[in-house]
Structure 1
């Protein structure tokens, strides 16, 4: 996440509307107290907005208007003349109504839930919502056009004079003003896509077929586009919660909305041929994930015609100063509305101060050419894989094609983005800046002339008690993110053991349609193999516990591993991956104070210290709703909230290549993320496995301990390495993040925006008497082979997240097995989390 954030603050977006009327100001009462959530409209129109928490507002229109209408419950409505087309720094003072109820005037604008006509209308929306939209039809199809844009905002003379822009002054000629915030902005990135969407409600399936895609940026921008697309996930305003930036915001149309929002029936008017009501809404409490805004709803069907939503500034969300959403719906007949236009603008910034600079991110989606109740002849169409090879014409459509097929014409600023980026690509300074950003984003430094990347730079240094300070250098071939072939290699050196380690791996995508990939590699290195349960067939993978710079105890239980592997994998259907691997490895202790000895009747002294083993590994992973970026041999997930099912069977074969053991290890795992509305997010992870046959310690399953002060997923924070060793096990992890819901109810703490995280972990397993006997050699450094077979081991934690927006600290408590050697009853772990 953190490297993706770096790209947000250098690649940027938004749109300019050629406005005729612009008004910016503040609304107060007669005591000069700012009035939040006032209704502001151009008099005689339905174009409007609401004031923010500080009474400030900005409103803009393509038309020319002469008056503003300002209204707020408990105050007299005021008509404000506009002397000129652009009016900034207006101060509007509202006077209290003489017959207004005292509790409404004084009590922060809270509205009654009973006898409130706005809530009566809301209840009718709930009753009718299932009859509105696409769910009314058996089948549907439509065209979908989408723009993703980035802008640098708050452009002033001070910014223009900064050294970083010396020689790049020409970029500022396209500066304009946002129609939503009133801030100046510079558009510098644009991506466009056109797709055809098909859906069938009788079988509950939908499929989107990409027709065309183009962007104004560089070769690696697709990962950014996919990431932003996931952030701006599609949502239904009728749902109880709207997912934005991994947060679940309470919808103003939800059935629980009356507990979170104040509602005011503000106006009524014709929209087209339909008489509609205008309802203003705003939060009842601060620091919760809510919106402010208004919506227009039909008086007969109670379908929403237009709605705008703006995240309040005190909402518990990081790195985002403003979020503004507009949706427009099209009337198909007397009772059916479908989505016509969806617009989302976000202001990403380090600070929420009004004058702070940031990055606008905008997503505009146009829906057109709806067709209903026409089933496809072949229902299997929905299950067929969409194939987009790198040379597909989808990504190289002509300018004439876009001019004819765009569902919304580009404005002058958007047209200028393509020309601007083409010019910037020729400027050496900009290319250097872009390279620095790409290095932070990917972790690799690109050497373009050789088509090679150096890195990953974040793995250059490490430490453990065997190697001492570890220095690593490596690289990969890299022509583009969609390379069909990739070679990676590294070498590492320990200043203490003075030994050289190395690893290399080659991947080749042989069949793009079914993603048939051949991978081969070799590694000779030192690893902490007791830090994970499921072994990774990627030979360049390395456990987090192998080289942490600081730890809670001696990190010397490391293993020398020399492995050669050949793997074939295929993806016969989207997100179903089948792998078959052949591995030959030798294992031995990397430390004089750690023993992997086992009894061996064929050894001269009856004891062997090294393991030689041939393994065949079959694995199957299924990841429903996973989205991937790119289509080359190596892809990156574009979302994180998908369920993961995994199964792996490892077969060890004796005697072939002098292998030592016959055994079978079967393992399954499940990861699932649960969105629990306003209560936050729950992560669950379940792993189970069993080894059939007698095997030494190096091949058994170890409860993954964590001897560091850092948070690592699927490890036990108070277990030492090799504290529990099993041949049959079950592991369960639970973690719930309340997203600030608890702290937001505590008066002295709600402004801190802290978030509570609770966790529970348990491990149950056993080890057979035969495996204990095999591994009992009398070596003084022999690991005690114990397993939590009578009582599951467990630990729990209470954490505080969002400290300084990036730090999370967990307080971990051990639940049992206090008599184990060097057992830790309590520990603190921390980690950086760049979350919204």
Structure 2
């Protein structure tokens, strides 16, 4: 839902044509809708009704005759008058079509689809053509058809005290129709260059205009509402991938039915209807494929998804004789409200599609009429000519001057001239946005989601306000970082905190300068005087994550103090990576009873001078380059994180010669039925003289208490919930976590838990245990195992989970192996 969230957030923040006639085609005897009936006007222009038999005729077709046909039924001519909705009944021909039934004679559509699959390599432009390039104009609107809204001013009666009922006008539909008759709710235009070479397709955005915004919201610009190619084995529709109806294994997922033969561009095509094979796959694709009878290429495609939202994607092509290929000419995406028994809330109550109601009828609301439509026009196409793609590591590049295009630029490239409603949309929404300071509110909202409160040139960091642990007690503090209002080339950041239990102040101060815009490279330095959990695994490249609470530190009592000077470079210059390269010098002092023996000495305090590189590699993700930097717009798995740390012997009084190699990978797979599988693997290897403070504890999260309820705490993210703090330490370890989440189930009204099955296991070893004194611990050489069930979001964001420890490190008492945890998941909807 990320894409629609951002668009509807903009719509709801900013505000709240063409005349048409709608209709439906039905069987005259049964009154059942006839899916994909053909409608042809007097000018020969044709369209196809949707899966419900519904269609819309533009105003220019009024008072003209249309011809409606459907295979197996008699054709019918209908004159369109002044009515806004027509029902067209078709009578069956001599005999009706037999339904597709396994075991009977195979529908000829199956042989057609087999030929399509076998011919994909020769018909897919991205496989047959070495290079191609074209320009594209895109227009996206969120709007409604004024003619579909009643717009009456009704009255509702309100009883006040003991007096007579008072009539109060209910004019919401009237106001909505008045607004939508003169403008859209949201509008965006985009002009791009598409280039294809070396099996890569890149979009360069030359112009972008978004109603209500001087600078566009780049998350909206990057929306990939539908796949570019219909030949992809996984077809993407509204940010979800589905098995394509022409994938190599498509017959396991779809039924096919030959409807008719029609002409497209003067060439004969088969019209094939496809629909999900498994009845339980209510979210499977269905639609139409127009297949060239000679080449078995796709000449047109209609993909549809019917869930709580009704999504339709259309691809149109033109036959290029010299290349003997069908090349895309435009694509269109439309989303309207589907059937939903509950309100669809996005960003809380910011925007919602109202529920239909399971047992009661309700008056239609504005969300019943609202729809989103995006259409691309492709032009100036060139094939098999030399193409050089610059900065090919990003799939979309928004040029710096794209937001400053004048009206002459837009008039040059627009393929859909702006009508009065579209022109008024820019005027009205730009005015509203300026008056209501929409861009400022949106900027503040985005900062708040990430845990910042922007005040002038500084973003104050909410993480530092308040926390608690057993060593510091309540930790009170303040911190922040300068934003682009201060400078786009320089930044200053820092924090200070005070522990009520240890009575000490902690602080950090740092500054950095930007040395590369495309690579978003910074060089900086910082000084920190603070405390940290012992033996904790920390990847320097990890993105900042804001939490209303951080559960694990609450129960921590073993820390070490450190004073660190560091210089660093952070960059995204390596394709699909983020990295930090760092030199640091630290003075480390354990804040618990501990002695480390090395080089014939006993150390209770030590110096460390180290070099480190920390790298996040997302090889399967897609990235967009904007004037503000590089953004990951399509997160795909697996992802990999590497970190290598090496001490520098003899440099700045460094005490130890050691190294550390850390690795982490994550994988997620989402299923059409709402379930999700996640795999998390983390490993570390420390060699040389490494004190306990910098080894590994594998993230324990259980208290050493006798009773189960005494150990009741908040659950962590990737922690061992039955492992006691400081129970195990390792110099080498590997940890594996497997999770499988099921679709949320409604138990009672507003009680809809999401059940997740979890298993965790870890193995480790401690080299040179004789060097560590002052703390008792065990090793993971025999392995550690726990499994459990999470019931997340039982009510609102609150949940409950239970885990059980088993295997070689199982404890003698049964109840000591059980851990019960509370959880809270805050879902912003994006």
**TM-score w.r.t. structure 1 length?**
0.77
* Candidates 453, 457, 460, aligned match of 2:459: 453
Match of 2:517 in 1: 512
Match of 2:565 in 1: 564
CA distance in structure 1 between the partners assigned to 2:253 and 2:366 by the alignment: 31
* Candidates 310, 313, 316, aligned match of 1:325: 313
Q: Deviations over 1:53-96 (max 9, x none)?
A: xxx835233641656777789x96684845535523x5667778
How far off is 1:207 after superposition? Answer: 4.2
Match of 1:819 in 2: 811
CA distance in structure 2 between the partners assigned to 1:709 and 1:311 by the alignment: 42
How far off is 1:515 after superposition? Answer: 4.4
Q: Deviations over 1:134-154 (max 9, x none)?
A: 145352221242536352669
Match of 2:385 in 1: 374
Aligned residues: 765
Q: Which secondary structure state, in structure 2, belongs to the residue aligned with residue 719 of structure 1?
A: strand
* Candidates 768, 771, 776, aligned match of 2:773: 776
Change (3 A) 1:278 1:85: farther
Match of 2:435 in 1: 427
Change (3 A) 1:388 1:25: closer
Change (3 A) 1:193 1:670: farther
Q: Deviations over 1:600-625 (max 9, x none)?
A: 8998xx562x4442222133443334
CA distance in structure 2 between the partners assigned to 1:642 and 1:116 by the alignment: 39
Change (3 A) 1:233 1:389: closer
Match of 1:11 in 2: 10
Q: Which secondary structure state, in structure 2, belongs to the residue aligned with residue 175 of structure 1?
A: helix
**TM-score w.r.t. structure 2 length?**
0.77
Change (3 A) 1:654 1:402: same
Match of 1:574 in 2: 575
Indicate conservation of the 8 Å contact 1:148/1:363, yes or no.
Answer: yes
Indicate conservation of the 8 Å contact 2:188/2:208, yes or no.
Answer: no
CA distance in structure 2 between the partners assigned to 1:270 and 1:543 by the alignment: 57
Indicate conservation of the 8 Å contact 1:345/1:362, yes or no.
Answer: yes
Match of 2:489 in 1: 484
Indicate conservation of the 8 Å contact 1:11/1:189, yes or no.
Answer: no
Query: Which range moves more in the overlay, 641-650 or 549-558?
Result: 549-558
How far off is 1:337 after superposition? Answer: 0.5
Q: Which secondary structure state, in structure 2, belongs to the residue aligned with residue 638 of structure 1?
A: strand
* Candidates 272, 275, 279, aligned match of 1:279: 272
Matches within 5 A, 1:407-422: 408-422=416-430
Instruction: Indicate yes or no: 2:356 matched with 1:365.
Output: no
How far off is 1:809 after superposition? Answer: 7.1
Match of 2:159 in 1: none
Instruction: Indicate yes or no: 2:297 matched with 1:303.
Output: yes
CA distance in structure 1 between the partners assigned to 2:486 and 2:741 by the alignment: 34
Q: Deviations over 1:501-555 (max 9, x none)?
A: 4333323212335544202223334444555x343268x96897xx946569833
* Candidates 184, 192, 195, aligned match of 1:194: 192
Q: Which secondary structure state, in structure 1, belongs to the residue aligned with residue 770 of structure 2?
A: helix
CA distance in structure 2 between the partners assigned to 1:497 and 1:542 by the alignment: 26
Match of 1:247 in 2: 240
CA distance in structure 2 between the partners assigned to 1:388 and 1:481 by the alignment: 26
Indicate conservation of the 8 Å contact 1:19/1:60, yes or no.
Answer: no
CA distance in structure 2 between the partners assigned to 1:736 and 1:580 by the alignment: 36
CA distance in structure 2 between the partners assigned to 1:755 and 1:475 by the alignment: 36
Q: Which secondary structure state, in structure 2, belongs to the residue aligned with residue 341 of structure 1?
A: strand
CA distance in structure 1 between the partners assigned to 2:806 and 2:88 by the alignment: 61
Match of 1:318 in 2: none
How far off is 1:724 after superposition? Answer: 2.7
Instruction: Indicate yes or no: 2:333 matched with 1:344.
Output: yes
How far off is 1:306 after superposition? Answer: 1.7
Instruction: Indicate yes or no: 2:410 matched with 1:402.
Output: yes
Match of 1:181 in 2: none
How far off is 1:567 after superposition? Answer: 0.3
Q: Deviations over 1:536-581 (max 9, x none)?
A: 268x96897xx94656983333444443321024444433455321
Q: Which secondary structure state, in structure 2, belongs to the residue aligned with residue 120 of structure 1?
A: helix
Q: Which secondary structure state, in structure 2, belongs to the residue aligned with residue 579 of structure 1?
A: strand
Match of 1:115 in 2: 106
Q: Which secondary structure state, in structure 1, belongs to the residue aligned with residue 656 of structure 2?
A: coil
CA distance in structure 1 between the partners assigned to 2:379 and 2:486 by the alignment: 32
Indicate conservation of the 8 Å contact 2:203/2:397, yes or no.
Answer: no
- Structure 2 unpaired stretches of 5+: 156-170, 338-343, 346-352, 357-363, 703-711
CA distance in structure 1 between the partners assigned to 2:628 and 2:611 by the alignment: 23
Q: Which secondary structure state, in structure 2, belongs to the residue aligned with residue 422 of structure 1?
A: helix
CA distance in structure 1 between the partners assigned to 2:791 and 2:320 by the alignment: 50
* Candidates 263, 284, 288, aligned match of 1:294: 288
Q: Deviations over 1:388-433 (max 9, x none)?
A: 798x434433332232234554454444443334322431465675
Match of 1:317 in 2: none
How far off is 1:214 after superposition? Answer: 4.2
CA distance in structure 2 between the partners assigned to 1:160 and 1:198 by the alignment: 56
How far off is 1:274 after superposition? Answer: 0.9
Q: Which secondary structure state, in structure 2, belongs to the residue aligned with residue 763 of structure 1?
A: strand
How far off is 1:595 after superposition? Answer: 4.4
Match of 1:48 in 2: 48
Indicate conservation of the 8 Å contact 2:520/2:630, yes or no.
Answer: no
Change (3 A) 1:517 1:642: farther
Instruction: Indicate yes or no: 2:512 matched with 1:524.
Output: no
Indicate conservation of the 8 Å contact 1:40/1:49, yes or no.
Answer: yes
